[in-house]
Amino acid sequence: MTPDSPLLGSADGFAIARAVRRGSVSAQAVVAACLERIRQRDPQLNAFTAVLEASALQAAERLDRQVAKGIPVGPLAGVPFAAKNLFDVAGLTTLAGSAINRENPPAPQDATVVARLKQAGAILVGTLNMDEYAYGFVTENSHYGPTRNPHDLSRSAGGSSGGSAAAVAGGLVPLSLGSDTNGSIRVPAALCGIYGLKPTYGRLSRAGVALLAPSFDHVGPLARSVADLALSFDAMQGPDPQDPVCARRPADPTFGQLGQGIQGLRIAVADDYFLRGAEPHILAGVEKVAQALGAQQTVRIPEAERARAAAFLITAAEGANLHLHHLRTRPHDFDPATRDRLLAGALLPASWIVQAQRFRRWYRQQLQALFQEIDLFIAPTTPCSAPLLGQEKMVIAGVEVLTRPNLGLYTQPLSFVGLPVLSVPLRESGSLPFGVQLVAAPYQEANLLRAAAHLEALGIPEARPA
């Protein structure tokens, strides 16, 4: 199998797993082709920080022996995947995008969600670049270099899960894992033109994950198909005693619901804040998705701008608290862009954080009331397509603003209260990719995936590898 084989370069994980289970292709051939593709293409993208060639080939060989013996294998059998380097991988030091963490011992075991994907038959081939400590939207890492957008190597892949998005969008792997604090799955998924799912806060275990802001952090999958999102999400679901916030509720399989369509779903478009400032082609994409989903109404998310401001405060304070010792003793070892924001977070008055948390409770109540009237709503993922690497400023609604923080303009107010969100990839003629968010009530990921599958069946999303 060549690196450009349709069973790797353009096929989704569902197709790969089906072929491996049937015996029409070996897992070893799939993984070997994946590794060769990484060797050929990653030097330009800089998505990977470690490639696990030996262990991946060994896992593929074990899987092929199971298939040959007729032993049942999992729904992701033979599917190569990679994980943002803040997930523990047994035998590797968990970098979290930092230089300081290089001094830590190797992880003794895999993060829970990595282990669950392996149990489903997926094969881990490496770890991926990110913003230091997941605090950023561009993956321009001073220690490990920038990750480049597969659609235009002069542009950002987004962040902080930039390596996760670029690896999938570039066809290196069909599936990856990222984390999302204020948009770190959705922003790079949108800029790289793939699907990214941020589940409900607490829905997937974060055990074995280096956190930035514990009351915000989510983990989730990035992929080129809705089926792969659903399969991987289902494989990772379930309570985990190692993560105290992981929901104590049974798994709720979503893959089997993809064909149900959108009948009965009450869908709206978020207006006001979420329709201000985005570039015209992105607003046209929101309208296109709205028409395809039959959205007949608009909804106003109250105080979204204030929610974003409060999210900034709490994120900075929680992140600073986690890294306070090193901020005091070795500030020169941080990425400068990360260090300055964490230092600012350490200096925030406690009264500001208390007030932000009070507002958070009120805001959650407002959105709970909103979801009594609708099942999901639509909003842009980012205000623009991928900026140039190193681009310091951009214009939003006629005002020049800093690029890095404002890529999260539309994602932060939704992370603030842990809603499940799926970024759907779109691309207008002649434009770079961008994304549209589908947002549902807590624990209603199935509604998001049903709506995305409906759009996919209509041919509206575009998630082909670059």
Model confidence over 389-423: pLDDT tens digits? 999 999 988 899 999 999 999 999 999 999 999 99
Q: Does the residue 303 lie in any domain? A: yes
Options 98, 160, 161, 423, the catalytic residue: 160
- pLDDT (tens digit per residue) in 175-204: 999 999 999 999 999 999 999 999 999 999
Q: Does the residue 464 lie in any domain? A: no
- Quote the pLDDT of residue 7: 55
Q: Does the residue 79 lie in any domain? A: yes
pLDDT-based confidence at residue 364 (cuts at 50, 70, 90)? very high
Q: Does the residue 7 lie in any domain? A: no
Q: Does the residue 463 lie in any domain? A: no
Q: The CATH number of the domain where 70 resides is what?
A: 3.90.1300.10
Instruction: Compute the radius of gyration of the chain from its Cα atoms.
Output: 20
Please, what is the average pLDDT of the chain? 96
Look up 160 and say whether it is catalytic.
yes
Judged by DSSP in three states, 269 sits in strand
DSSP codes, 30-79: HHHHHHHHHHHHHHHH--EEEE-HHHHHHHHHHHHHHHHTT----TTTT-
- pLDDT (tens digit per residue) in 295-328: 989 999 999 999 999 999 999 999 999 999 999 9
For the chain, what is the domain count? Answer: 1
pTM over 0.95: yes
Q: Does the residue 263 lie in any domain? A: yes
The C-alpha atoms of residue 76 and residue 20 are separated, in whole angstroms, by 9
The domain of 113 spans 13-457
Q: Does the residue 4 lie in any domain? A: no
Tokens standing for residue 130: 């990110």
Look up 184 and say whether it is catalytic.
yes
> Could you give the C-alpha distances from 186 to 89, 191, 196, 309, 378, in angstroms and in order?
23, 9, 5, 19, 14
Options 98, 164, 184, 205, the catalytic residue: 184
Q: Does the residue 355 lie in any domain? A: yes
Identify the DSSP state of 322: H
Q: Is 428 left (phi over 0), alpha (psi -120 to 50) or beta?
A: beta
| 343-349-352-353 Cα dihedral, nearest 10 degrees | 60
